[in-house]
Amino acid sequence: ILVQLPLPKHLNEEKVLLKISPKKDVDAFHPENVGKIMIGNFSILPCTPAGVMELLKHYNIDINKKHCVIIGRSNIVGKPQAMLLLHANATVTVCHSRTKNLAEVCRTADILVVAIGKADFVGADMVKPGAVVIDVGMNRRADGKLTGDVNFAEVEPIAGAITPVPGGVGPMTRAVLMRNVLAAAGLSTKNVIKTTVFLADLKDFPTVNGISETFFEAPYPARSCVQVAGIPKGALVEIGCIAVEE
């Protein structure tokens, strides 16, 4: 179960979120899940922050001992992103609308995560040469084109790595949502004996068009794997397996 935030003003967000069982909270917005993220004992993670971590992991970007600056302090991205980076042994600075000398602080970042919802807000003057830039924003320009919170054309030449918009963090958010659904099923179904979720390259699987079911050998009784559809061969996708008793 997920709640698409923000809710209309006449609805109480807190009351609605509390109605969802923490075991079925695939966005990890329930206070119980938020607390588990804080202490590092979690089963489900917020989709976008977890997607960012998967991107960093896949591209072998070392987080340990690095200075990570996050622009944005929302409960959906900024705060949980800070916790996940801390768990990975980064030194984390969280910036927001009241931060003094914002550009100066951003230029100290080895890894810069931007999640403020302002089109092209971060320019080259805010990025240290060689820094990794993660653009979480999704905005629409006056001409109708999508853009992130980072001015890609300005920052890309000096960044060590940068995510595009669209096609960067967004697909990872959706992939992690699928992983969370599988994890929630594992928490909620009594006969599930093991849940395994991993990233895989579509070139390793026979079907790349349409939703398909793939079965393969695994060290537990029954296997059911859902392959993500409609992605070019060679792209990373999320594959989930739930092993259940026969």
The reported pLDDT for the residue numbered 190 is 58
CB 84 within 8 A of CB 115: no
The reported pLDDT for the residue numbered 185 is 82
The reported pLDDT for the residue numbered 52 is 97
Instruction: State the average pLDDT over residues 2-15.
Output: 90
Considering only 12-26, 173-187, 230-244, which range has the smallest mean pLDDT? 230-244
Q: Please give the full DSSP string across 113-128, using - where no structure is assigned.
A: EE-S--TT-B-GGGS-
Instruction: State the average pLDDT over residues 85-99.
Output: 97
CB 58 within 8 A of CB 50: no
Measured distance CA(129)–CA(109) in Å, rounded:
10
114 burial (CB, 10 Å; 0-12 / 13-18 / 19+) is buried
The reported pLDDT for the residue numbered 191 is 52
Mean pLDDT of the chain: 81
In 3-state terms the chain splits into helix, strand, coil percentages (rounded to 5) of: 30, 20, 50
Measured distance CA(157)–CA(127) in Å, rounded:
11
Helix (H, G, I), strand (E, B) or coil at 198: strand
Q: Give the model confidence (pLDDT) of 57-80 as tens digits.
A: 999 999 999 999 999 999 999 999
Tell me, yes or no, if the pTM score tops 0.85: no
CB 105 within 8 A of CB 95: yes
Q: Give the model confidence (pLDDT) of 158-216 as tens digits.
A: 999 999 999 999 999 999 998 898 888 877 765 544 444 444 444 443 333 333 333 33
| Amino acid sitting at position 36 | K
CA atoms 178, 184, 188, 192: torsion sign = positive
- Cis omega (within 30 of 0) on the bond before 206? no
- The widest CA-to-CA distance across the chain, in whole angstroms, is 60
pLDDT band at 236 (very low <50, low <70, confident <90, very high): very low
Measured distance CA(58)–CA(198) in Å, rounded:
11
CB 91 within 8 A of CB 65: yes
CB 228 within 8 A of CB 166: no
Measured distance CA(76)–CA(69) in Å, rounded:
16
